[in-house]
Amino acid sequence: MDSDFTNLLKPDGIGPCPGCGQDVAFFIVWKRRMAECAPCQAAERERKRCNQRREDALSLWSDVTPPGFQRKIEPYLIANEIRPALDLDGATGAGFAGTSGSGKTRVAYVLLRRAAARGLMPFAVTAAEYRQASANRHHSDPVVRGAAVGTLRNAHQCQALLLDDIGKGAKTATGDEALYDLLNDRRDNNRLTFWTANGGAEWLKKRFGPDHGPAIIKRMVDLITPHGGKPQIFVCGGDGKGEEK
C-alpha cells in the first residue's frame, strides 16, 4: 500500500514550464499535463489574488457610489478646467475646487473607480456626513453610534477616499477639528485621497477661520501632491453646463 502511494507521487516525466520554459517534473491529471515551476505557481496565485481584490474593490465602489455617479461620464458636460483630470489614472490624489455644476464630484468618482480598479478599497463621504458622524460617535442610540463609528473608521482607514464638499454646511469647532484630524491622519499614513470643495483657498480660509483654515488647507494640498511633484488641483469658475455636480 505504501509502495502504491509512493508511486502516485512520482512525476510522469520532465517538460518545460508553460510560464518560463524551465524544465520541471510534470504529472498527468485527467489526460492533462500539469507542469509548473514553484515561482510560476506563486506568481499565478498572486495574479488570482490581485484579480479577486480588484473585483472586490470595484464591487465596493458600486456600493459607496450614488447611482447617478455610476453612469458613463460625458466629458463635454465637464468644465474645461476640470476635464484634464480625466487623464489621471487614480494612482495619486487630486483636488477639485470651484463652483457647483462643473463636474467636480463626477470626475472625482471616476478617479475613485480607477483607484478601485488598482485593487484599493474605496470609500466616499461628504464633509457634512463626516461631521455628523463625528458628532454622533457618542450617541445614546447604539445603532446611530455604531453607524457613526463605522463612517469614521472607514474614512480614516480606507485605501482610497473621496471626501466631497469640504467647507459646505454648518460650521462647528468640533467638526473642524474632526476634519483636520482626518486629513492629518490620511496624510501622515500616505493614504490616497480625492477631495472636492465649492471654493478655493481664500474661500476655505474664511469658512474655517484663522485657527483651522491654514492647517486644513495645507493638509488638503499635501494629500494631492505627489512626491517631488506639484499639487494635482483643478480649479474651475463654473463654465460647465450645469448638468454635473
pLDDT single digits (tens) 192-213: 999 999 888 889 999 999 888 9
More confident position, 19 or 186: 186
- Band of pLDDT at residue 4, cut at 50, 70 and 90: low
- C-alpha 114 chain-centroid distance: 8
All domains of the chain in start order, with CATH: 2-36 (no CATH), 75-236 (3.40.50.300)
What is residue 87's DSSP assignment?
Answer: G
90-114: burial string, b at 16+ Cβ within 10 Å, e else: bebbbbbbbeebbbbbbbbbbbbbb
pLDDT, one tens digit per residue, over 135-180 is 999 999 999 999 999 999 999 999 999 999 999 888 788 889 999 9
Strand order in the sheet with 233-236: 122-126, 160-166, 192-197, 94-98, 233-236
Q: Report whether pLDDT(190) > 80.
A: yes
Q: What is the mean pLDDT of residues 92-98?
A: 95
What pTM was computed for the model? 0.81
**pLDDT tens, position by position, 114-125:** 999 999 999 999
The more confidently predicted of residues 98 and 151 is 151
| pLDDT beyond 80 at 181 | yes
Give the span between the Cα atoms of 187 and 192, in whole angstroms. 8
Longest CA pairwise span in the chain (Å): 84
pLDDT at 49: 84
Q: What is the dihedral of CA 179, 184, 185, 187, to 10 degrees?
A: 130
Residue 240 clears pLDDT 50, i.e. is over it: no
161 by DSSP, 3-state: which?
strand
Model confidence at 84, pLDDT cuts 50, 70, 90, reads very high
Q: Grid coordinates in use for 6? A: 509512493
pLDDT band at 29 (very low <50, low <70, confident <90, very high): low
For residue 166, the model assigns a pLDDT of 95
Query: Are the CB atoms for 28 and 12 separated by under 8 Å?
Result: yes
Structure confidence at residue 34 (pLDDT): 59
